[in-house]
Amino acid sequence: MSRSPLSPQRFSDLDALRAQVAAWRAAGERVVLVPTMGALHVGHLALVAEARRVGRAVVSIFVNPTQFGPSEDFSRYPRDVEADLARLAEAGADAAWTPDVATMYPPGFSTRIEVSGLTEGLCGAYRPGHFSGVATVVTKLLNQVRPDIALFGEKDFQQLQVIRRVVADLDMGVEIRGVPTIREADGLALSSRNRYLTPEERAAAPRLHAVLARIAEAVRGGAETAAPCAAGIDELEAAGFQVQYLAVCDAETLAPVARIAGPARVLAAACLGRTRLIDNLPV
Ligand code: PAF
């Protein structure tokens, strides 16, 4: 596959993007979408590397207002498209899709996708409307780009499962693949929001991964999940976290499980100061 040294080509016009995608497909190439909100870090670049391995890598950059609650960080969410494009050029992405708000939500826009069940617990319980905003924007991005495959980080595991549900329920015919979380050397999952952490909070933050790893180990053989989770919450709260949830859940339905009987995931969300961290591990 030959690649332009000027990659990625930036598209803000949907027709132009679709023409490029159609040309790649006509040439027999697979098109892989990596949806992002920008503020790209090494975790995103791992998604781009995986996309390139499979086909043409199209990266969308759009800070989606509809997935933020009124008291959340939409206005301070880091935005630097030029720096993102420079990172994508280094990573060898083929195209960047950078729509503006008017393109995504033109006047009269009135459709929202609601996913029941999966979105009710975990992050859904603390971020009302969040997954509806995510499901709607991801559906739009998939319809706009029409990729063969879309890649999502497993760090937002509930998001990944919600998107899988939407794509299956609406017969969207795109393959959704999860990509394992990239971590700092001390275990902290990479996130655009890590830059909000003060030095003291950054020093405490890896405790979240350590606690999840300990719980995953403790429950793997079929032990009850309640006690290790309660101990994990106590440890995190003592270290300065405000824990929203910490639970062992079925990996597909995300329903809490009392004992492991199949593929499961230990998941948590906790705030350190003003920064909300999420993480999860397979059990
Ligand atoms: O995970 C994200 O960055 C966002 O939720 C996504 C999938 C790009 C939708 O805005």
The helix/strand/coil state of 14 is helix
Domain boundary among 179, 204, 223: 179
In a domain, 186, yes or no: no
In a domain, 1, yes or no: no
Which residues form the domain of 19?
Answer: 9-179
Residues 209 and 169 in one domain: no
- CA nearest 246: which of 201, 277, 273? 277
Atom of ligand 1 nearest to the CA of 64: 10
The dihedral sign for the CA sequence 83, 87, 89, 95: negative
pLDDT digits (tens, 9 = 90+) for 35-94: 999 999 999 999 999 999 999 999 999 999 999 999 999 999 999 999 999 999 999 999
- Asked if pLDDT for residue 4 goes beyond 70, the answer is no
Atom of ligand 1 nearest to the CA of 163: 7
In a domain, 42, yes or no: yes
pLDDT at 258: 97
> Would you say the CB of residue 35 lies under 6 angstroms from ligand 1?
yes
- Asked if pLDDT for residue 5 goes beyond 70, the answer is no
List 44, 130, 209, 276, catalytic entry: 44
Which percentage of the chain shows pLDDT scores above 90? Answer: 96
Atom of ligand 1 nearest to the CA of 35: 8
Residues 269 and 151 in one domain: no
Distance 187 CA to ligand 1 centre (A): 22
Distance 186 CA to ligand 1 centre (A): 25
- Model confidence band, residue 3 (pLDDT cutoffs 50, 70, 90): low
Residues 88 and 163 in one domain: yes
- Model confidence band, residue 6 (pLDDT cutoffs 50, 70, 90): low
* pLDDT: which is higher, 6 or 271: 271
pLDDT at 143: 98
pTM beyond 0.75: the answer is yes
> Would you say the CB of residue 34 lies under 6 angstroms from ligand 1?
no
Residues 171 and 204 in one domain: no
pLDDT at 147: 98
Using the CB atoms, write b or e for 81-116: b if 16+ within 10 Å. eeebbebbeebbbbbbbbbeeeebbeeeeeeebebe
Domain boundary among 179, 212, 242: 179
Q: How many Å separate Cα 283 from the centre of its chain?
A: 20
- Asked if pLDDT for residue 182 goes beyond 80, the answer is yes
37 assigned ligand-binding residue: yes
- CA nearest 43: which of 149, 193, 211, 146? 193
Domain boundary among 124, 152, 179: 179
pLDDT mean over 145-154: 98
pLDDT digits (tens, 9 = 90+) for 198-252: 999 999 999 999 999 999 999 998 899 999 999 999 999 999 999 999 999 999 9
pLDDT mean over 16-22: 98
Distance 135 CA to ligand 1 centre (A): 9
H/E segment holding residue 19? helix 14-26
pLDDT mean over 107-129: 98
- Residue 164 neighbours by CB distance under 10 Å: 17
In a domain, 187, yes or no: no
Which percentage of the chain shows pLDDT scores above 70? Answer: 98
Distances in whole angstroms, Cα of residue 215 to Cα of each of 160, 223, 256: 22, 10, 14
In a domain, 165, yes or no: yes
For the question of residue 44 being annotated catalytic, the response is: yes
pLDDT at 7: 72
- Model confidence band, residue 142 (pLDDT cutoffs 50, 70, 90): very high
pLDDT mean over 113-123: 97
Distance 237 CA to ligand 1 centre (A): 28
